[in-house]
Chains A and B, each alone.
Chain A
Amino acid sequence: MTFIRSAILDELVDRWLSKVAALVALYVTFRGHNAPGGGFAGGLVLGGVFVLQFLTGREPHLRHRPIRRPTMLLGAGLLMALGTTAVPLFVDAAPLESHIWKPDIPVIGEVKVVSSMFFDLGVFMVVVAVVLMMLLSLGARGSSLVGDDGGEVS
Chain B
Amino acid sequence: MSLPVLGPLIAAAVMLFLRRLSAQRFVSFMTLGVSLVASATTFVNIWDDGVIRVVRMSGWPGSFAITLVADRLAATMVLVATIVVTIVLAYATGQRAPDERSSFYHPVYMVMTAGISQAFLAGDLFNLFVAFEILLMASYVLLTLEGTNEQVRAGTTYVVLNILESMVLLMAIGLVFAATGTVSMAELPARLAELPDGVRMGLQLLLLVAFGIKAAVFPLFFWLPDSYPTAPSSVSAVFAGLLTKVGVYCLIRTQTLLFPGELGNVVIVIGAATMLVGVLGAISHRDMKRILSFQIVSSIGYMLFGLGIGGSAAIAATIFYLIHHIPVKTSLFLVEGIVARDSGSSSPDVVSGMARRSPILAVLFLVPALSLAGLPPFSGFLAKFAIVRAGVVDAQWVGIVVALVVSLLTLVSMVKIWVGVFWGDVEPAAKVSTVGVLRHQRLMGVSTGMIVALSLAIAVAAGPLYEFATLAAEQLLDVAGYVNAVRSA
Contacts and interface: CB of A to CB of B under 8 A. Distances in A.
Assign chain A's interface to a size class. 20 to 34
Interface stretch (A1-9, A41-49, A56-64, A88-96): A88-96
A82 interface: yes
B9 A78 contact: yes
A98 B58 contact: yes
Interface in A86-111: 86, 88-89, 93-98
B392 interface: no
A79 B10 contact: yes
A93 to B, nearest CB: 6
A96 to B, nearest CB: 4
B141 interface: yes
A151 B144 CA distance: 12
Given A72-B16, A79-B13, A151 B104 contact: yes
Interface in B78-120: 102-104
A113 B57 CA distance: 20
A23 to B, nearest CB: 28
B102 A82 contact: no
Nearest to A119: B58
A149 B16 CA distance: 10
A94 B10 contact: no
Contact of A78 (B2, B12, B55): B12
B4 to A, nearest CB: 13
Contacts of A82: 6, 9-10, 13
Interface in B141-185: 141, 145-147
Contacts of A96: 57-59, 66
B402 interface: no
B56 interface: yes
Interface in B1-41: 2, 6, 9-10, 12-17
A71 B58 contact: no
Nearest to B99: A154
Contact of A72 (B6, B17, B58, B66): B17
A94 B65 contact: yes
Contact of A94 (B9, B56, B103, B146): B56
Contacts of B104: 151-152
A152 B108 CA distance: 10
Contact of A151 (B14, B17, B103): B103
A72 B19 CA distance: 11
Interface residues of B, number: 24
A82 B104 CA distance: 19
A74 interface: yes
A86 B58 contact: no
Interface in A60-81: 71-72, 74-75, 78-79
Contacts of B146: 154
Contacts of B147: 153-154
Contacts of B10: 78-79, 82-83, 86
Contact of B141 (A85, A89, A152): A152
Given A94-B65, A96-B66, A78 B16 contact: yes
Contact of A75 (B6, B17, B65, B145): B17
B12 A95 contact: no
Contacts of B9: 78, 82
Q: Kindly name the residue among B12, B16, B141, B146 whose own CB sees the greatest number of chain A CB atoms within 10 A.
A: B16
A95 B102 CA distance: 32
A43 to B, nearest CB: 16
Contacts of A93: 59
Nearest to A70: B16
Contacts of A72: 16-17
Given A83-B10, A93-B59, A95-B57, 15 more contacts: A75-B13, A75-B16, A78-B12, A85-B57, A88-B59, A94-B55, A94-B56, A94-B59, A96-B66, A97-B58, A151-B103, A152-B102, A152-B104, A153-B147, A154-B147
Question: Which 4 A-B pairs rank lowest in CB-CB distance, beginning with the nearest?
Answer: A75-B16, A78-B13, A96-B58, A97-B59
26 contacts: A72-B16, A74-B13, A75-B15, A75-B17, A78-B9, A78-B10, A78-B12, A79-B14, A82-B10, A85-B57, A88-B59, A94-B56, A94-B58, A94-B59, A94-B65, A95-B55, A96-B57, A96-B59, A97-B58, A98-B58, A151-B103, A151-B104, A152-B102, A153-B147, A154-B102, A154-B147
Interface of A: 71-72, 74-75, 78-79, 82-83, 85-86, 88-89, 93-98, 149, 151-154
